[in-house]
Amino acid sequence: MADRFRTRLRAEVTRWVRDGLVTSEQGERIVARYPASTAWFARPIALFSLIGGAFIAAAVALVIAHNWQELHRWVKLGGVVALMIGAYAGGLVVRDRGYPKLGDGVLLIGGGLLLIGIGLVSQIYNLSGRPADALLLWWVLLLPAAYALPSLALVMLGYTGAFAWYWTLTFDRTSWLGSELAPNWILVPVALAAAGLLLFPLGLVHGDGRYRSVRRFLEQLGLATLVGSLYPLSFLWRDLSMPDTTGRWPVALPVVLVFAFVAVTAASYWLPRDTPAVRAGLVAVLLAVLVYLVALTGAVSARAPGVIFRALGFADWALIFAASLSLILYGARWGRNAWVNWGIVFLGIHALARYLDLFGTMLQTSLLFFVTGAFVLLLGWALEWLRRRMTAQAAVRRESA
């Protein structure tokens, strides 16, 4: 990014000199003010460190998985604990010597070895209960250590563990959450979407300072989970056969939804600085998704008639569209390119899903696409008109001042 800026600056300065705005000497001084950045080199080092760390952790995992019964269990456990402590210590030393990103990669091996150690214990004692419990132990131990240092790579690994824990819990029929979701598949995407609503504000809380990369990671994980979970629900309009629920009202899922509500309302405080109305707009979209999830949970629990589910299926279409569009608009306004990219990807997937969904009735699909296309074109025109008008007004204000 920095190098792109330097290239553009050099080109601009040449034009300024040609137009007589600055002398060539001034131009050279301006260019010299921004030396070539090392960012291009720094980025592969960070990436290679992470990938290298992951490979080494995977290699140790495979050695453990090979399951050497000739070795005594205490020897195996001692070996893993020694390796884990060695990796953490090595990471600290490498960081201290001025290679923070490489150090993070080595720390990542330590974090991975903690999970491998947990896996080793369950292998030795043939514990095959809930995989989610092992993941819970991992991230609960890892995250405090990651924040204490802090190591951004470990923080992200910890949150990956937390997400994997929740995911596993969702699909485990014997868990406190999975047992409620198992009788009706509709509740699974509801639970996952609620997790997305929790992760997105959690990302915002990390701000633009030291934890910026964690903020971006959690925001994107949250958005992908949220909108990704809404896609399966967009097929509800098709009069899908509903399995009989157990007649029990869910308890755990509403609790998760309440947490999501608290997170979304708190998110309004952490959003980028803007007018209250603009900030409220994004919160309103997230709350609309939450209300939809609550309605769906209620409809499943109350064994609502098919017409309700059909209506909720169509409401899902509108929500995916509104959420994607909001991401593009807010991303552009607040300079969050990742939001814009995700918004475009979500719209593309939505269009593809609807095409497949409505395949067979080509005229209807054509009409739907025509209306959507015309709407998007009109919206683009209106936004451009608004942008020009605001730019002109700002220019008039500047001149009069």
Tell me the residue length of the chain. 401
Question: Judged by CB under 8 A, which of 27, 53, 103, 110 binds other proteins?
Answer: 110
Residue 116 Cβ vs other proteins, minimum distance, rounded to whole Å: 7
The nearer residue to other proteins, 180 or 316, going by C-beta atoms, is 180
CA 211 distance to own-chain centroid: 15
Contact status, residue 219 vs residue 245, Cβ threshold 8 Å: no
CA 272 distance to own-chain centroid: 18
Question: Judged by CB under 8 A, which of 31, 45, 54, 121 binds other proteins?
Answer: 121
Count CA atoms within 13 Å of residue 161 on its CB side: 26
The nearer residue to other proteins, 92 or 288, going by C-beta atoms, is 92
Question: Judged by CB under 8 A, which of 30, 50, 141, 291 binds other proteins?
Answer: 141
Phi, psi values for residue 370, rounded to 5°? -65, -45
Residue 332 Cβ vs other proteins, minimum distance, rounded to whole Å: 37
CA distances from 64 to 124, 223, 398 (A): 10, 35, 68
Which of 201, 196, 330, 334 is CA-nearest to residue 267? Answer: 201
Question: Judged by CB under 8 A, which of 10, 248, 387, 389 binds other proteins?
Answer: 248
Which of 160, 230, 234, 236 is CA-nearest to residue 197? Answer: 230
Query: How many C-beta atoms surround the C-beta of residue 205 within 10 A?
Result: 15
CA distance 71 to 62: 16
The nearer residue to other proteins, 95 or 215, going by C-beta atoms, is 95
Question: Judged by CB under 8 A, which of 45, 54, 99, 122 binds other proteins?
Answer: 122
Surface-to-core class of residue 238, CB atoms within 10 Å of its CB (0-12 exposed, 13-18 middle, 19+ buried): exposed
By rule CB under 8 A, what string of x and - marks binding of each residue 337-366 to other proteins? ------------------------------
Long-range contacts of 43-47 (CB under 8 A, 24+ apart): 45/101, 45/102, 46/101, 46/104
Residue 159 Cβ vs other proteins, minimum distance, rounded to whole Å: 16
CA distance 83 to 71: 16
The nearer residue to other proteins, 65 or 362, going by C-beta atoms, is 65
By rule CB under 8 A, what string of x and - marks binding of each residue 151-190 to other proteins? ----------------------xxxx-xxx-xx-------
- Return the range that interacts with other proteins (CB under 8 A); candidates 80-88, 191-199, 338-346, 378-386: 80-88
Residue 87 Cβ vs other proteins, minimum distance, rounded to whole Å: 10
Which amino acid would we find at residue 233?
Answer: L
83 binds other proteins (CB under 8 A): no
Size of residue set near other proteins by CB under 8 A: 53
Residue 114 Cβ vs other proteins, minimum distance, rounded to whole Å: 5
DSSP for 305-373, please give it: -HHHHHHHHHHHHHHHHHHHHHHHHHHHHHT-HHHHHHHHHHHHHHHHHHHHHTTT-HHHHHHHHHHHH
68 binds other proteins (CB under 8 A): yes
The nearer residue to other proteins, 80 or 202, going by C-beta atoms, is 80
The nearer residue to other proteins, 17 or 81, going by C-beta atoms, is 81
Angle (CA) 236 238 244, round 5° = 65
Question: Judged by CB under 8 A, which of 22, 45, 50, 77 binds other proteins?
Answer: 77
80 binds other proteins (CB under 8 A): yes
Residue 134 Cβ vs other proteins, minimum distance, rounded to whole Å: 9
By rule CB under 8 A, what string of x and - marks binding of each residue 257-286 to other proteins? ------------------------------
CA distances from 90 to 83, 96, 97, 303, 322 (A): 10, 10, 11, 57, 48
Residue 74 Cβ vs other proteins, minimum distance, rounded to whole Å: 8
User: Which spans of this chain sit near other proteins (rule: CB under 8 A)?
Assistant: 61, 64-69, 73-74, 77, 80-81, 84-85, 88, 92, 110, 114-130, 137, 141-142, 144-145, 148-150, 173-176, 178-180, 182-183, 246, 248
